[in-house]
Structures are given as C-alpha cells and as structure tokens.
Amino acid sequence: MAGAAARFDEVTSGAERLSLIENSVVVTIRTAQIGVGALLAVCLLTGCGGNGVAKAVRPGVPEGLDVDPANTAPAGTWLERGESFAIVTWGSSSCPLVASALTVEGADRIGVRFAPSPRDPCTADMAATTHEFALPVAVARTPVKVDVSYGDRDDIRTLTLN
C-alpha cells in the first residue's frame, strides 16, 4: 500500500488519480470477498453453527431408544433404517456438543466427531441431546458401525446400528 500511496503522489492528472483509486477499491473489495468466502468454507467444512454437520439437533432421547440416564455413554439408533440415524450425547442442556465432522470409513462404517459447544455460559446439568444425521450414500451395508469421538481426545466409542 505504501507503493500505491507514493505512486498516487506522483500522478498529476485527475483522471489518473481516479483510476488509481478505483483500482484500489476493486482490489480491497475482492480481498474482502475472498476472506468472507474462505471463512464460510471453513465453517461449512468444520461444522460451525448450531447443528454442525447434523441435519437436526433436539433435546432428549428419540422415541423407541431406551437409555439409562446413569450411563452417559453415547447411544445410537436408526430413525429411518438405511436412511437416517441419531446419536444421543450427554452434557449441558444449554450447550450441547456439536457434531463437527462425519466421515465415511467403509461400506458399513462411519465416524462422527463431536466438539464442545461454542456457547457460554452453560448450565451445569446433565441432559440428553439427540443429533440426527442422513446416512451417507457410500454406506451401503448393515449393520453400520459408528465410531464416535470427542474433540482432540483419543478415545473412540463404537456404536452399532442393526
């Protein structure tokens, strides 16, 4: 930008100055558009936003899934066999985990990674949250194994959707 300012001082005609200003504005707008586009792409790929990569997030446990509230391990069930499934996680009802990635690991295996909620402050309760997902087309065999992981932790829980 210092070079542009020095050049601006050297330009004598009004038309040349106007052309330099117009070019500078175009470059600034394009740079801003690229920055916003990159930010949106990162959010889409990492699941920024309310539901992350889940198609819906609801409080509680889906109908038909029996869970023991004393056992806070994740649980999974088909919502529509071969089409959509749900994973139930436990934590603060005001700051539920966010599904940040869903990956296909094979014809009968997927991975779902959860991240902490970006919300703050959070209630200090323990509540069930249901995360609903569409089954990726590449997953064609049942039963389906779902590897559930959390943020940067190494432990993985494997659920089976029969």
pLDDT tens digits, 10-48: 656 677 776 767 766 665 566 556 654 444 444 444 444
Total domains, the chain: 2
- The parent domain of residue 72 ranges over 56-161
Contact call for residues 131 and 54 (beta carbons, < 8 A): yes
| pLDDT at site 50 | 73
Sheet of strand 75-80, all strands in order from the earlier edge strand to the far edge = 56-59, 127-134, 84-91, 75-80
* Position 126 in a domain: yes
Contact call for residues 90 and 59 (beta carbons, < 8 A): no
Q: Is the pTM of this model over 0.75?
A: no
Contact call for residues 86 and 145 (beta carbons, < 8 A): no
pLDDT tens digits, 48-104: 457 899 999 999 999 999 999 899 999 999 999 999 999 999 999 999 999 999 999
Is there a single domain that holds both residue 23 and residue 60?
A: no
Is there a single domain that holds both residue 86 and residue 143?
A: yes
Is there a single domain that holds both residue 8 and residue 83?
A: no
Report the helix count and the strand count for the chain, using DSSP H and E. Answer: 2, 8
Is there a single domain that holds both residue 68 and residue 10?
A: no
